[in-house]
Chains A and B, each alone.
Chain A
């Protein structure tokens, strides 16, 4: 009975709503992220976490306390954090003698760890160090991935997917053209570094409809290099990438639209039975009563034979 007692029944309407919100949805909103520190952290990491938190802001939670977590040994506490804050992404900064300036980026699926990557922050210049005007809060950035390496190693492929997941916010149908004002570029160089730059987009006149793009660096300017990684379990990843049935577009057969926007339908008819075709009725073509009688008896015979065959075939 002790198992059963743990099933909580919401006592209030509000509590019920909260529980319903935590249940799986067909269309999910933006993924929330939590930012927290490990046992010890450096100045560099603290402001780096703050900067990324600013980029993620309405969907981010910055946890200020230190946490005694060694994530590659034990993920449990991080999973608990994510469950508590209903977050699917996390960033953890930690600083130790063995691994100085350590940043762990990871994501969750169904409140369990999906994958994570450990990065070494080699150099860092924060948002504050660039004396420029900043971007609007909660804007959807353009993401650029430069370098052929992104496709080549599985670790980097995963990191790429993770960065997209982290910064793309969510899919929106409509985007205001003047609202595109932020670009984040991720560069994987052949010497094994990952250079992250963030720019403000300035749209200039070009004499044409499409504007000329100018960029202005707003920071942070970070150079990463890879440390440990934990790749996603294949089955788990497959399940996580499943698309709900409701969102799948099924192709409608025999319907097409032409260039003018009119819909055309195609109907398939069976083959026409020419023998039953009604032609002109004439007295001369009518059957005589003798003919009709003969046809009837013939039909009866056929039925009788059929019945017999059926009886023979069925064993019981």
Chain B
């Protein structure tokens, strides 16, 4: 027992030599160990603060740092290259980001199309064997360009082409047009991704633009008069472009949202069918009255005629009316009737 007491005494003496690491506080501190942050909501000792400000603040900071470090020393430690490191928990304090959360890169028009159709990218080999030149030619780069020149040292003039036309110049022109078209598409994709409104290119060369583009151009151009195209003549069988209300002057866009649910769609369609089947003719009272009066008058006049001269007319009742020129069915000359001159 003596030994135990001695050891206890020794340890007590040893502990006395060092200052304590415990701190008393009225309100507990809030910690965010991930940020190495401690928040002390206790009130200041105003008397001490005014008398010896800096010493008081030093003591306060010491106590709070001690409390914070006590918490940190409790965390699980690890040994990394002869240094003891402590693993910090995730940050509790929410701080604003520097830039917004990255969005997935919007697909280009082609990528969208390929995705819809399930077209997958095929990997092309970087070199391919050229039968004509008998050597390996790269897919792109200056060696490819050189090979192309070597291959196309002569070009065939198509049968229907102007014989004096420079086929080489035409080829270069076509290539540059393809390049600029691709560039335009790239920029259009960027604009779409950034939601920038891009002015329309308008109608380009009729060789390049499609029938749809031309139709759009015609429709818009026709509506672009002072009277919004009201007095413009129409060609036979001319069709107006659709979906151009946004750029056509005077046109208003009618948008109807698609029905939300299946049942709603069904009821809407049924309503349409019913409205058609239950259609009642419109009653035009004026017309109806006029017709009625006329038929009455006719009857009266007929009665008078029949009572006046009973047997003189051998015309049938159906032919009572005076035939009008060019109207009605013709029965040929055998049917008799009025003599025509």
Which A residues form the contact surface with B (CB < 8 A)?
1, 3-4, 7, 23-26, 28, 31, 88, 107-110, 114, 140-148, 150-151, 161, 164-165, 168, 171-180, 183, 185, 187, 189-190, 195, 197, 199, 201, 203-215, 217, 221, 232, 237, 239-245, 315
Q: A221 — which chain B residues lie within 8 A by C-beta?
A: 54
Q: Which of B12-20, B220-228, B251-259, B276-284 lies on the face that meets chain A?
A: B12-20
Which B residues form the contact surface with A (CB < 8 A)?
14-15, 17-21, 34-44, 46, 49, 53-54, 57-58, 60-62, 64-66, 68-70, 72-73, 77-78, 80, 83-88, 90-91, 93-102, 187, 190-191, 196, 198-199, 266, 270
Complex contact B100–A3 (CB within 8 A): no
**A215 to B35 Cα, complex, angstroms:** 20
Chain B min CB distance to A205 (Å)? 6
**A211 to B72 Cα, complex, angstroms:** 11
Chain B min CB distance to A184 (Å)? 9
Complex contact B96–A237 (CB within 8 A): yes
Complex contact A185–B87 (CB within 8 A): no
Chain A min CB distance to B59 (Å)? 9
Q: A180 — which chain B residues lie within 8 A by C-beta?
A: 36, 69, 72
Complex contact A241–B96 (CB within 8 A): yes
Complex contact B17–A26 (CB within 8 A): no
**A205 to B86 Cα, complex, angstroms:** 19
Q: B49 — which chain A residues lie within 8 A by C-beta?
A: 189
Given contacts A145-B37, A244-B102, contact A215 B61 (CB under 8 A): yes
Pick from B19, B36, B62: contact of A141, CB below 8 A.
Answer: B36
Complex contact B97–A215 (CB within 8 A): no
Complex contact A110–B36 (CB within 8 A): no
Pick from B80, B84, B98: contact of A109, CB below 8 A.
Answer: B98
* Among B20, B61, B84, B94, residue most surrounded by chain A Cβ atoms (within 10 Å): B61
In the assembled complex, 5 residue pairs joining A and B whose CB atoms fall closer than 8 Å, in A order, are: A110-B100, A176-B84, A195-B53, A210-B21, A241-B95
**A124 to B171 Cα, complex, angstroms:** 75
Q: A108 — which chain B residues lie within 8 A by C-beta?
A: 98
Complex contact A150–B39 (CB within 8 A): yes
Complex contact B83–A217 (CB within 8 A): no
Complex contact A3–B198 (CB within 8 A): yes
Complex contact B101–A205 (CB within 8 A): no
Pick from A1, A168, A215: contact of B62, CB below 8 A.
Answer: A215
Pick from A3, A7, A142, A243: contact of B38, CB below 8 A.
Answer: A142
Pick from B19, B64, B196: contact of A206, CB below 8 A.
Answer: B19
Pick from B73, B90, B93, B102: contact of A24, CB below 8 A.
Answer: B102
From B83, which residue of chain A is reached at the shortest CB distance?
A: A176
Complex contact B102–A171 (CB within 8 A): no
Q: B34 — which chain A residues lie within 8 A by C-beta?
A: 171
Complex contact A144–B97 (CB within 8 A): no
Chain A min CB distance to B234 (Å)? 34
Complex contact B35–A164 (CB within 8 A): yes
Query: Interface on chain B toward A: helix, strand, loop, or mixed SS?
Result: mixed
Complex contact B54–A142 (CB within 8 A): no
Q: A144 — which chain B residues lie within 8 A by C-beta?
A: 37-40, 61, 64-65, 68
Given contacts A4-B187, A143-B38, A197-B58, contact A212 B85 (CB under 8 A): no
Complex contact A177–B196 (CB within 8 A): no
Chain A min CB distance to B188 (Å)? 8
Complex contact A171–B18 (CB within 8 A): no
From B71, which residue of chain A is reached at the shortest CB distance?
A: A210
Q: B72 — which chain A residues lie within 8 A by C-beta?
A: 175, 177, 180
Q: B95 — which chain A residues lie within 8 A by C-beta?
A: 161, 164-165, 168, 241
Complex contact A201–B65 (CB within 8 A): yes
Chain A min CB distance to B3 (Å)? 20
Complex contact B88–A175 (CB within 8 A): yes
Chain A min CB distance to B56 (Å)? 10
**A4 to B38 Cα, complex, angstroms:** 51
Complex contact B94–A212 (CB within 8 A): no
From B30, which residue of chain A is reached at the shortest CB distance?
A: A145
Given contacts A110-B100, A144-B64, A146-B64, contact A164 B93 (CB under 8 A): yes
Chain B min CB distance to A183 (Å)? 5
From B56, which residue of chain A is reached at the shortest CB distance?
A: A187
**A213 to B64 Cα, complex, angstroms:** 10
Complex contact B35–A143 (CB within 8 A): yes
Q: A31 — which chain B residues lie within 8 A by C-beta?
A: 98
Chain A min CB distance to B245 (Å)? 24
Chain B min CB distance to A209 (Å)? 6
**A189 to B187 Cα, complex, angstroms:** 57
Q: A242 — which chain B residues lie within 8 A by C-beta?
A: 97, 100-101
Chain B min CB distance to A129 (Å)? 13
Chain A min CB distance to B327 (Å)? 46
Q: B57 — which chain A residues lie within 8 A by C-beta?
A: 146, 185, 187, 195, 197
**A93 to B266 Cα, complex, angstroms:** 69
Chain A min CB distance to B116 (Å)? 25
**A25 to B60 Cα, complex, angstroms:** 39
Given contacts A178-B83, A215-B62, A215-B65, contact A190 B21 (CB under 8 A): no
Q: A4-B198, A142-B68, A147-B43 are in contact. List 10 more A-B contacts (CB 8 A).
A: A24-B102, A88-B98, A110-B100, A146-B44, A146-B57, A147-B41, A171-B88, A174-B78, A197-B57, A241-B97
Complex contact A241–B94 (CB within 8 A): yes
Q: A178 — which chain B residues lie within 8 A by C-beta?
A: 83-84
Q: A187 — which chain B residues lie within 8 A by C-beta?
A: 44, 57, 60
**A148 to B190 Cα, complex, angstroms:** 51
Q: A189 — which chain B residues lie within 8 A by C-beta?
A: 44, 49
Complex contact B42–A183 (CB within 8 A): no
Given contacts A172-B88, A176-B83, A207-B18, contact A28 B68 (CB under 8 A): no
From A245, which residue of chain B is reached at the shortest CB distance?
A: B101
**A244 to B49 Cα, complex, angstroms:** 44
